A and B are shown apart, each in its own frame.
Chain A
Amino acid sequence: DGGITQSPKYLFRKEGQNVTLSCEQNLNHDAMYWYRQDPGQGLRLIYYSQIVNDFQKGDIAEGYSVSREKKESFPLTVTSAQKNPTAFYLCASSGQGGNNEQFFGPGTRLTVL
């Protein structure tokens, strides 16, 4: 079945460590996105990519980095520079064009100890 997978579902890290969240899609979508969701909050865009080897900063990119070497994959690295990384992270993908809905993965809950 087509869809988006994120791993791991739960992630714990110590302060000062970098951690990478995985996102893979088999929907043949060009566009992929990373969002952050804090408790009781909406979605905030971290990074997005419209095509392989290209990505752009969203609203809250500081302390995060991404890569888009393959169409199917858009991993997110949470660096030690991110001051408050504990949150729920959602990856999404869509076809090109604003008329396309986004398909979301199950999310990764990151907790910094």
Chain B
Amino acid sequence: AQKVTQAQTEISVVEKEDVTLDCVYETRDTTYYLFWYKQPPSGELVFLIRRNSFDEQNEISGRYSWNFQKSTSSFNFTITASQVVDSAVYFCALSEAMGIRTSYDKVIFGPGTSLSVIP
């Protein structure tokens, strides 16, 4: 069965510290997609990154980086030199579908990690 675990419920860091948000997933499929979303205090989720199961290259975007390891079924997210604006709830998500859906393949969201960056 599909499952996404974000073991860290809440994290607090001081500004400029690095922080890593963990995501562990379970799936029986060989083709799947992983996502990270950010939910700031305003409430609207914002898409950050998508990874497919065949691409294990790590990705860096500014202060954000993602480490995808199929061997440990993990897709961790690191923020370098954190800022107050990074304070938000971060969700990891898994989708097993690819191509055009003939039936709905549900996106499974993890429970989220609440990150507080203290000035």
By a beta-carbon cutoff of 8 Å, the part of chain A in contact with chain B is: 31, 40-43, 45, 48, 50, 56, 58, 88, 90, 92, 96-99, 101-107, 109
Bound CA span A100–B33, Å: 9
Overall SS of chain B's interface: loop
By a beta-carbon cutoff of 8 Å, the part of chain B in contact with chain A is: 32-33, 35, 37, 42-47, 50, 52, 91, 95-101, 104-107, 109-112, 114
A98 and B43 form a contact (CB under 8 A): no
Q: Which residues of A contact B37 (CB under 8 A)?
A: 104
Residue from the set A42, A88, A105 with the largest chain B CB neighbour count within 10 Å: A42
B91 and A98 form a contact (CB under 8 A): no
Choose from A41, A98, A99, A103 the contact partner of B47 (Cβ within 8 Å).
A103
A105 and B44 form a contact (CB under 8 A): yes
Residue from the set A56, A99, A101 with the largest chain B CB neighbour count within 10 Å: A101
B101 and A96 form a contact (CB under 8 A): yes
Q: Give me 6 other A-B pairs in contact (C-beta within 8 A), A41-B112, A98-B32, A106-B43 excluded.
A: A90-B44, A97-B101, A99-B95, A99-B98, A101-B47, A109-B43
Shortest Cβ distance from residue A47 to the other chain B in the assembled complex, whole angstroms: 11
